Structure 1
Amino acid sequence: MPKGITQEQVNAAADALVAAGEKPTVEKIREALGTGSPNTVTRMLEVWRGTLAQRLQEAMTLPDVPTEVGQAFVEVWRIAVTHAATLAREALAEDQNALFAAQTSLTQERKLWEIALAEAQANVAESTVQRAQADTQLRERQILVDQLEAQRTDLLQQRDRLQGQLDTQHAELQTLRVELATQQDHVRTVEDRTHQQIDQARQENKALQQRLERERREHGKQVAQLTAKHEELRKVARTAEQTAAHHAGHVAALEATVAQWRESREPAKRTTHTVTKRAVKSTGTRSRRRKP
């Protein structure tokens, strides 16, 4: 309720309405004052109606008033009182109707509030259940998160361990690459030397053949000796070819070793040397078998 409304303000507003020929109602009083709750204005308006008769009686006993004027004044006040009473009854009926309508509205509003309260309580209960379910899900997810974190830690440890193994294997791979490059250089050197020897033997063979032809025409007696020397040179050429085949087998053995190392990715220096020695030994055996 707004502050500042008094009984005197309500009385003055009601008197002003009566003097203007209007019926003093709660709404008009509130409109005139610009404030005041309907209940407070209704209560103060009842007080004003109760004091109206007393104020009229006091007006009839005013001193020094001629009898005719007093009677006229009383008649005027009687008419005013009658009119005010009629207006008061009408205002009271309107106020009662307004109160009844307000009570009806309040009852309906109360029912609406009760329905809203029931819905709110149901929502609270449902929210409580949902919160309990959410708490359960949160605990389950927290357990899952802990499990995943443990798995993550284990995977990180495995990754670090595998990374260390990979670094070791990478270092061993680099070593094997260096050794392989060295062996390949040696093989190429041997191959180049063998090719040079073969070319030189071929050139010598050709020269010897030419010389043999010349000397056959010139020296028939030395044919047997030149033929023997020719056979000897052929043996040298065959030996050179066998040496070249030996080195080719050595190269093939090295390539097989590299392929095996790439497939297994488990380099072993001792195993590589063993395979190489076996390949060399096998090649040498094959070379010895080829000799006449």
Structure 2
Amino acid sequence: MPRGITQDQVNAAADAILGAGENPTVEKVRAELGTGSPNTVTRMLDVWRGQLGERLRQLSALPDLPTPVGREMMGLWQLATEHASQAIAGRFAEERAALESVRSALATERQEWTARLEAAETDRARTQAAKDLAEHACTTLDAQLQDSHALRADLAQQRNRLQVQCDQLIAELQGLRGQLFEQQQAAAAERARQEVYVRNLEDRAHQEVDRLRQESKQWQQRHETAERVHREAEAGRVVEQDALKEQLRRAEHETARLAGQVSALEKALQARAKPTTSGAGKRKRTGQMALKAR
């Protein structure tokens, strides 16, 4: 309620409006005062109307006016009062109807605002739920991101470790390739030496056989002319032949032994080139494949 409005101010404004020959209404009183709420002005106008009859009776009791004039004034005043009361009642009904309309509109508006408020509360609850869900999702994503960072760091460490192992394996493979090349060269030289030695033995054996054959022919030619000498030397020649056969057998045995040594050396080289472990075997096979590719 606006401050500063009093019952006396409303009474004075209503008297002024009534003195001007107009019906004191809420709008006119508020316009006259320049302030005041409709409910307050309505209540004070009801008080002013309740006091109006008492004021009229006081005016009718004035002794200064002659009796006919007083009666006429009283009649005129009563007529004016009845007319004003009717006008006021009609205006009051209009004001009440307007107030009821305003009250109905306010009630409707209040219902609309209540519905809007409920909808807003529903939206706010939905938004809060969406916010909570988004915060939970963000927390989950942050945890997953941290896990992915940790996994990435672990994978980087594993990659570095595997790179170091790969470098070591490459270095070992290169060393094994060098050793294998040296062993192959040494085996080739040894094989060539053995082949030369075997060939020399074979040549000497063939030469000895040829010599024996020539001597046998000579002995056969001499047999006819020196049969007696041949008989005497038969035993010595047999011994000599046995010695030569034993020497030939030994040469053949030496040749077989040397051939066995060559075969054993090749097998040893192959066994040495084979893996002692699964990782070493893989490196050996990789080196052989690389050498074959070269």
The TM-score range, normalised by the shorter chain, is 0.5 to 0.7
Aligned to 2:159: 162
Amino acid at match of 1:97: A
Aligned-pair CA distance for 1:25: 1.4
Structure-1 residue corresponding to 2:77 = 77
Unaligned runs of 5+ in 1: 173-264
- Cα 1:114–1:152 shift into 2, 3 Å: closer
Partner residue in 2 for 1:21: 21
Residues 83-137 of structure 1 deviation map (CA, whole Å, 9 limit, x = unaligned): 322221222121222122123223423443454355446546x628x71x76466
Moved more, 53-62 or 272-281: 272-281
Residues 148 and 97 from structure 1, CA distance in 2 versus in 1: closer, same or farther, beyond 3 angstroms? closer
**TM-score after normalising by structure 1:** 0.53
Q: Secondary structure at the match of 1:22?
A: coil
Match of 1:266 in 2: 170
Relative to structure 1, is the Cα distance of residues 93 and 288 closer, same or farther in structure 2, using a 3 angstrom cutoff?
same
Shift of 1:41: 1.4
- Unmatched segments (≥5 aa) in structure 2: 197-294
- Residue 52 of structure 2 corresponds to residue 55 of structure 1: no
What is the CA–CA distance in structure 1 between the aligned matches of 2:138 and 2:88, rounded to whole Å? 74
**Alignment-mate amino acid for residue 25 of structure 2:** T
Are 2:96 and 1:89 equivalent residues in the alignment?
A: no
Measured in 2, the distance between the counterparts of 1:44 and 1:288 equals 143
Partner residue, 2:41:
41
Aligned AA (2:44): M
- Aligned-pair Cα RMSD in Å: 3.8
- Counting only pairs closer than 5 Å after superposition, residues 138-177 of structure 1 correspond to structure 2 as 138-139=135-136, 142-143=139-140, 145-163=142-160, 166=163
Q: How does 1:216-235 map to 2 (within 5 A)?
A: none
Change in 2 beyond 3 A, CA 1:79/1:136: closer
Seen in structure 2, the aligned counterparts of structure 1 residues 142 and 2 have a Cα distance that, compared at 3 Å, is: same
Match of residue 276 from structure 2:
none
1:24–1:87 CA contact under 8 A, matched in 2: no
In structure 2, the residue corresponding to 1:266 is in which secondary structure?
helix
Matched residues, number: 196
Question: Identity rate of aligned residues, in percent?
Answer: 37
Cα distance, 1:279 vs. partner? 5.6
Alpha-carbon distance in structure 2 between the residues aligned to 1:283 and 1:273: 15
Alignment of 1:246-285 (within 5 A): 266-268=170-172, 270-278=175-183, 280-281=185-186
Q: Is the alpha carbon distance of 1:157 and 1:67 closer, same or farther for their aligned partners in structure 2, counting shifts above 3 Å?
A: same
- Take 1:102 and 1:7, find their aligned partners in 2: how far apart are those partners? 25
Amino acid at match of 2:146: E
1:182-237 per-position Cα deviation (integer Å, ceiling 9, x unaligned): xxxxxxxxxxxxxxxxxxxxxxxxxxxxxxxxxxxxxxxxxxxxxxxxxxxxxxxx
CA contact (8 A) 1:2 1:37 kept: yes
1:60, 1:74 within 8 Å by CA — same for their partners in 2?
A: yes
1:127 matched to 2:120? The reply is: no
Equivalent-residue separation in structure 2 for 1:148 and 1:123 (angstroms): 32
Alignment partners' CA distance in 1, 2:91 and 2:14? 12
* Distance in 2 between residues matched to 1:113 and 1:136, nearest whole Å: 29
Q: Does 1:116 align with 2:116?
A: yes
Shift of the 134–67 alpha-carbon distance from structure 1 to 2, 3 Å rule, reads: closer
Look up the match of 1:251: none
Shift of residue 48, structure 1, vs aligned partner: 1.0
Give how far 1:51 is off. Answer: 0.8
Q: 1:26 to 1:282 in 2, by over 3 A?
A: farther
Letter in 1 for 2:33: L
Distance 1:116 1:24 in 2: 40
Question: Residue 2 of structure 1 contacts residue 35 of structure 1 at CA under 8 Å; is this kept in 2?
Answer: yes
Whose radius of gyration is greater, 1 or 2? Answer: 2
What is the deviation of 1:161? 4.4
Given that 1:5 and 1:36 are in contact with CA atoms closer than 8 Å, whether structure 2 keeps it comes out as yes
Deviates more, 1:80-89 or 1:41-50: 80-89
Alpha carbons of structure 1 residues 9 and 110: separation in structure 2 relative to 1, 3 Å: same
Q: For residue 22 of structure 1, what is the amino acid of its counterpart?
A: E
1:39-72 deviation line (CA, Å, top 9, x unaligned): 2211111111111111111122235444455445
8 Å contact from structure 1 (residues 7, 44) kept in 2: yes
